[in-house]
Chains A and B, each alone.
Chain A
């Protein structure tokens, strides 16, 4: 089974430890959300996996072979990053053809469909495209290459609402016809929650959560009510976040809670992924 195993990866930039003892794995045919605040280490981890940078220590393997400086392993991986690494004076069409020459294959049927639906002019130079159309170009490349692991770093940067919906549509369509692993790093959690199956949450260079979305959200609840009443019961729970505003407090807890056992005036609410993320990374 093709999976990427990350084993005790550390990445330092001089004295700064950006990734600290990261261990996880990416299984085939799943959609992962790689979440974290700015500077948490998401992009660094993706850069290490895609051979753009070298780890300080640790190992990353696919089918037992290292991914670092290994073209056989890298043939299974593609990273579409926030930054544009294509020559600015290259036309979009030329970049697609270049991708095909490097990978031997390119899904031109899907590309043509996406070009048409997004309204992308493939005779434009990539340097002349807007931020949104730059993102669309990179997305088309990512979805049309014959790789098993696609890493998308902020894929919907600059996309308007209509184009974001289109992207989700194409993502799910290609996922259904050719199941692959998608690992998506994004700050637009609310929208993407519906497509994530598994979440890896990074805080200060360490993984603090690594599990299925449903399991993570089911393991936590939000208690909401009068600040004084909340303060009175706070010590009974495994609190990971508290927020108070105008006499009302919200308590995010990693417990299963029976509302009937709580004082009157305190409600129990399910957390959505964004709320869970805010609570865990604050």
Chain B
């Protein structure tokens, strides 16, 4: 009973912002180019090379953050365990990611068929030689949004649990670790560099233009983030 109530509670709070987001997106992605092309430039304008996927990715992270920062205290107050709350996060993430992935496909298809939008292929479509309205893109988008929500959730949980000074060190580490890794990479022997390129090429499916490889990679990263989120939430006090 608590799981159903938790899932319903979170879905309502996640789906409402989605309506607002797509309302804004429709305005800026469709109406603004229409106004520019028809009324000002009198020629077809180019749509976004990333389509709706990139702004949706950002917004999914925000939904993830809101999901874990709002209503946690309320759920505990009404007798839920942290395990149930965590499971409701996962169910909510899957449902929202699926909705985002489907809407992503729908909007892409709509925009492909609008005459005054001169749509180019997206980065993903070109990299993996897939149609931007296809089952592969649907699955890829779904996993991408799942990852985005898990990044947002973990960020939100850490922000709530960690002391501000610890957060500052963590933020600094996130900036400096890539720099350090980049320096280490630059001093590696050529064979090692090639091995690293091969590794990333394989897990991202770039060599064989295989989109299922990054799907699996993103899923693994998502599971890792979710596991860390569980470690953070399992002893989270109500404050």
A binding-site residues for B, Cβ under 8 Å: 47, 50-54, 69-71, 74-75, 77-79, 85-87, 98-99, 101-104
| Interface contacts beyond A54-B235, A85-B74, A103-B78: sample of 18 additional A-B pairs, CB < 8 Å, sorted by A | A47-B238, A52-B237, A52-B238, A53-B238, A54-B237, A69-B81, A71-B81, A74-B81, A75-B79, A79-B77, A85-B238, A98-B5, A98-B74, A99-B78, A102-B1, A102-B2, A102-B78, A103-B1
> What's the tally of chain B residues with a CB closer than 8 Å to chain A?
22
Distance, CA A98 to CA B6, complexed state (A): 10
Contact A51 B76 (CB under 8 A): yes
Question: What are the 9 closest A-B residue pairs judged by CB atoms, nearest first?
Answer: A102-B78, A52-B238, A85-B73, A74-B79, A101-B5, A102-B5, A53-B237, A69-B81, A85-B77
Main DSSP-derived SS at the B contact region: helix
Distance, CA A87 to CA B77, complexed state (A): 12
Instruction: Return chain B residues, CB-CB under 8 Å to A75.
Output: 79
Contact A102 B81 (CB under 8 A): no
Instruction: Return chain B residues, CB-CB under 8 Å to A85.
Output: 73-74, 76-77, 238
Distance, CA A86 to CA B70, complexed state (A): 9
Distance, CA A86 to CA B9, complexed state (A): 13
Residue of A nearest to B75 (CB): A102
Report 27 cross-chain contacts, Cβ distance below 8 Å, ordered by A residue.
Answer: A47-B237, A50-B77, A51-B81, A52-B237, A54-B237, A70-B81, A71-B79, A71-B81, A74-B80, A75-B79, A78-B79, A85-B73, A85-B74, A85-B76, A85-B238, A98-B5, A98-B9, A98-B74, A98-B78, A101-B9, A102-B1, A102-B2, A102-B5, A102-B78, A102-B79, A103-B1, A104-B1
Instruction: Return chain A residues, CB-CB under 8 Å to B81.
Output: 51, 69-71, 74
